[in-house]
Structure 1
């Protein structure tokens, strides 16, 4: 219990808060903290909530710019290091599109050898570099698409990991009488649920039924 903390609503009475703290033997926190590097709460300023990711990417790129790197070296560092930095966050939250573009702009400037405030010509746009090498690109990640793919994995877990605490919590709150594919966004959803729900179309597009008894299949709509 040493790592456990509570955050109470302003509407909860002080006597109830004290009782809960005594039962659990933990303290309440006065501000929104981070857990495993992720923000506990994401407010309206989402750019600010994920600012630490940009700071980490910027610090990495600035350190490498002082070194003489070949084009192959830049490719390895972009793919293996800086594009991996936001991966854990993207598996839980949908990053704003503008935020993804900012990160990709940083990657692109590093790729074309830009230093400090100097401007270098970008001979190809980043979306082209994100294509596979067989199609003339470099195989870099499209962050927005990769973000949705990671969130779709969480949606897949909601469909199949019926015994997990993760599924039990989300099912009880957002789709108690149906499954993930039949769920609705609902009113006042959390940012995590809103993020996973955004990837539902990806799960639907890539899923199909393996026919058993067929009693749960909607013939007109299911793949």
Structure 2
């Protein structure tokens, strides 16, 4: 979609297209993943008419035409009546956040336990589908470490999971660990804190989801500080930090909850930071 991106940028240069807020500095007009395309622009008539015209032009040249019936428009900061008018210009129906993409809820607000209910259900369905009541205790531990943790790992690396969701998942894991099923009462042999210790420390090697989620978020901080070659890292350093160190930037009331959570991790991560190399 590089050619499509260049078409929109050329229209922006002559005033026929307005960048979305925070996108002009790094020249972002679209984000592509597999066969999905997200187009970012200012919510005004000239920009949307240009997008519609460029999509038609790109389709005529490449044969790749969007399915408008399966596409959606997302607006912010404008009244409902204006949303309808602009949606009619491009012929794409209006939708609203939160929306689920690649299994993860996308929202401008803090992800709630309700948004993550699908993750809890997925863990429960995985356990209920196992015909393994005759496995040994070591087999149950192996399934938790491999299968159940694998279900949660993608979410842990992508977003900050609410604590109530983590507790719900850990309850299912506890039931399965000590009973081999998720129905009926169970009596834990040791505390869950002890079970999540490494084997060399006397535990079962089951990862603590809250700690693992925090570690995955810390990996994002590493990417920001090391300026990894990624679009969102470039956006953070250019738009959010603006030359200020991640360790010194101040939290603002208008910051998103995810960004505030990352800033809150600084006190935990800072003592473990060490710089190696030439000053």
TM-score normalised by the chain length of structure 2:
0.66
Whole-Å Cα distance in 1 between the matches of residues 83 and 117 of structure 2?
A: 37
Residue equivalent to 1:7: 74
Residue equivalent to 1:216: none
2:211 aligned with 1:111: no
Whole-Å Cα distance in 2 between the matches of residues 101 and 108 of structure 1?
A: 10
Structure with more relative contact order (C-alpha pairs < 8 Å, separation 6 or more):
1
- My pick for the range that moved more, 11-20 or 112-121, is 11-20
Aligned residues of 2:110 and 2:257 also touching (Cα < 8 A): no
Residue equivalent to 2:95: 29
Residue equivalent to 1:154: 220
Residue equivalent to 1:201: 267
TM-score normalised by the chain length of structure 1:
0.81
Structure 1 residue runs without a partner (length 5+)? 214-223
2:140 aligned with 1:140: no
2:196 aligned with 1:130: yes
Cα deviation, 1:110-169, whole Å, max 9, x if unaligned, reads: 000154542121110110001111221101011111011000000000111254311122
Whole-Å Cα distance in 1 between the matches of residues 187 and 272 of structure 2?
A: 38
From 207, 229, 236, the equivalent of 1:170 is 236
- My pick for the range that moved more, 197-206 or 130-139, is 197-206
- My pick for the range that moved more, 189-198 or 76-85, is 189-198
Cα deviation, 1:169-197, whole Å, max 9, x if unaligned, reads: 22344322302222223213223323333
Aligned residues of 1:132 and 1:139 also touching (Cα < 8 A): yes
Report the count of equivalent residues.
211
Residue equivalent to 2:143: 77
Q: 1:94 to 1:32 in 2, by over 3 A?
A: closer
Cα deviation, 1:16-43, whole Å, max 9, x if unaligned, reads: 9739964xx8654245321111111164
Aligned residues of 1:152 and 1:202 also touching (Cα < 8 A): no
Whole-Å Cα distance in 2 between the matches of residues 20 and 190 of structure 1?
A: 30
RMSD value, Cα: 2.8
Residue equivalent to 1:220: none
Aligned residues of 1:157 and 1:167 also touching (Cα < 8 A): yes
Residue equivalent to 1:59: 125
Q: 1:30 to 1:70 in 2, by over 3 A?
A: same
Whole-Å Cα distance in 2 between the matches of residues 189 and 20 of structure 1?
A: 32
1:58, CA displacement in angstroms? 0.6
